[in-house]
Structure 1
Amino acid sequence: MNEREFAELAAGHALDALSDADQRRFIDALESHPEWAAIAADDAETANLMADAVSAVEPPASIREALLVQIAKGQTQGPAPGPTLASGPAPATDAEPAHARAPRRWSRGLFALAASVVLIVGLGVGAAVLIPQLMRPASVIALEQIEAAPDAQQASVELDSGLQATAHWAESEGNAVLVAEGLDALDDEQTYQLWFVRGEQPVPAGLFETDGGNATALLDGPMRAGDVIAVTVEPAGGSPTGLPTTDPIIVIPTA
């Protein structure tokens, strides 16, 4: 772990927003790098200032929605040519959405945004109300938006290993969320990587971690009609080539 990655964890720790796995990573990193203690201390002080800045009141709906939009925004990645991923199990439809505990992903930039907003005392937005809204993962927000959309769709697969995965998407929302249960724990040298597969073209769609074998992951970039959603196990940091380096463990056609 480098100092920048530790700083991301420190921001989440200051706001009590880390998953159990990330909390362990934070503690281990701090023990290995005591010189980083100042980063954690600064973030803890900032969080305390936010909590004490103003009294807790209900924020105006317009401010809340604007902040949630900022959280839910993803970065679109360009397509990279490559081979077709191996086919996977046929999707099964399910009227009830699958749910899983979402891994905590706290952006240090979002931590700074929270501090800036709370310091605008004139808005009358209490930290006790604002911070929990900011702490909600983008994947959870996106899943709620998809499920509320009139054109919401989903497809599921269940493997012999017990792994279950459901892809949720809505054309009106333009994005997709994968909810999975029963994923294997990976060591620090590996990570799960998401892909949109368009014909013979895999498009990287972000990395995600698990929490007790469960994950709720928002795919980076807009989804297109007919995309196949896939997951591979890649080296830490993602595929070095921009193409899958292993066979997919999850393949969910959406058409």
Structure 2
Amino acid sequence: MNEQEFAELAAGAALDALSPDDQQRYHAALAAHPEWQGIADEDADSVAFLAEGTPPAAPSPDIRAALLARIAVTPQAGDATVTDTVPDVVPETETPSASDADTGAVTPSTEAAAAAPKAPAHRLRILFALAACLALLVGVGAGAVAINSYVNRPASVVALEDIQAAGDAQQASVPVEGGGTATAHWSASLGKSVLVTDGIPELSEGETYELWYVRGETPVSAGVFAADDGEATAVLAGDMQVGDVIAVTIEQDGGSPSGLPTTDPVVAIPTA
């Protein structure tokens, strides 16, 4: 076995893709040529790096199917061939005679050698590279999902994170009439506030929750929101001012048509 053939087997061993016979050949070659240990170590380190560097994620069925389809139709061409099916030395009893050589006669041994199938060159090396590409695709896909999720966060979530990161961030919680709680988060330096609800009542069809900044005696509409299973994270529109009361009323769908509350607040949280 030459070094190139061993490299083929080393790639397969790193991927745990060797047959029992190839496993024996691999270990026998490694015992006979300890100087080839570096080849085996390099392939094993590459596989370990791919395993550690790629977060656990299931590859898309489309990616896997496309890759396997490409493998099936891609010619595996190369210079080196696997010839372990053909004897390296022709037995003396089968050595062609001088007359055979002169006449071009084909002996059984040469006939077998010519007919022996040649394995595609570098097959295991190609599989090794394909496995690395597939791992990279999985990693890139998972990273893209994470980046997309981060970039496309709702505005209310972004505002809440900004408030919580501010040096003057404050919050207060109150019970909601009918059940559940409401927590207001605000930052006077940012002029932002967010209301987070948990377990508040579902409204009837045609109704909505409306947010308000109440400044002294003047209510200022700050948008509407709906609660999904009693939960919501809603950013208040407009600039918050120190001393505002963050309030919520129940209004008709779309909000109060007059721009003033038509019901008593179900939530009222002072910010001063």
> Which structure has more RCO (C-alpha within 8 Å, separation ≥ 6)?
1
What TM-score comes out, normalization by structure 1 length?
A: 0.48
For normalisation by structure 2, the TM-score amounts to: 0.45
Higher helix proportion (structure 1 or 2): 2
* Higher-Rg member (1/2): 2
